[in-house]
Amino acid sequence: MTVIRVGHLYPDYLNIYADRGNIAVLAERARVRGHELDVRSIGLGDPVPVGEIDLFYVGGGQDREQDLVARDLAGKAEPLREAVERDAAFLAVCGGYQLLGRRYRDVGGLDLPGIGLLPLETVAGDRRMIGDVLLECSWAGGRTLAGFENHAGRTQLDADAEPLGRVVHGFGNDGRSGFEGCRYRRVYGTYLHGPLLPRNPWFADRLLAEALAHRTGGVPVELEPLPDDLERQAHEVSAGRARSRGGRF
Ligand code: GLN
């Protein structure tokens, strides 16, 4: 039995659309494999215990909540970067994803600092991008991710940045580039909200495998598959919605 340590950044502020449900999925999928998730919250003013945390998680929030945490997060940039270079895993959703870039200019034109962990910048536009999304991840053998997006921010990846996936249906990072999210080492940033991991079990297992590898000092090993009948159905429903009504300009 291995205890996987999760550092949940700002759970009181960044938890829109029940983003914390992703942690429940990780905990259950770890449990059935005989492991345990030890979730610690890292809030305003709390230090980042580099080396101790195997998987960081930050959820989404509106501009107001992002404004409340952005400066504090900027103060944590160094230890978070160090943890990532030392192979900790990191999942960042929507508002949290935006703050992993260099900056976020909100709808009021206010510049919030990001931590520069991911090679990207985000500027809010007038029209929100709302709808179901389907992505294809070439780095994962073409496996797909299905989810829901709701954001004003348009995210531009640097030329050498790796997206999380190619948009099959939906808006993605900016509604134009055809890219969604960003990936660096074991860091995954995405606009796909709350029910991301319940509908995409392969991605949950990928994060768990990377977090386990961080804990044991080994390489990520694919976990024993689970039946996942309901999860597959949830993915299909979500992918079908993206096909029929995924957003586009
Ligand atoms: N405030 C950001 C935007 O609208 C993030 C929104 C969110 O996390 N849902 O772009």
Q: 112-124: per-residue pLDDT in tens?
A: 999 999 999 999 9
> Rounded to two decimals, what is the model's pTM?
0.97
Query: What's the rounded mean pLDDT across residues 142-165?
Result: 97
Q: In angstroms, what is the span from residue 149 Cα to ligand 1's centroid?
A: 9
Q: What is the mean pLDDT of residues 64-88?
A: 97
8, 35, 151, 193: which is the annotated catalytic residue? 193
Is residue 137 part of the annotated active site? The answer reads no
Residues 159-173: tens digit of each pLDDT: 999 999 999 999 999
Closest ligand 1 atom, residue 124 Cα: 10
* pLDDT greater than 70 at residue 194: no
Query: In this predicted model, what pLDDT tens digit does every residue of 205-233 receive, in sequence order?
Result: 999 999 999 999 989 999 999 999 999 99
* Residue 18 pLDDT greater than 80, yes or no: no
CA nearest to 20, candidates 31, 32, 6: 6
Q: In what helix (H) or strand (E) does residue 36 lie, and over which residues does it extend?
A: strand 36-42
Q: What is the dihedral of CA 232, 238, 243, 248, to 10 degrees?
A: -140
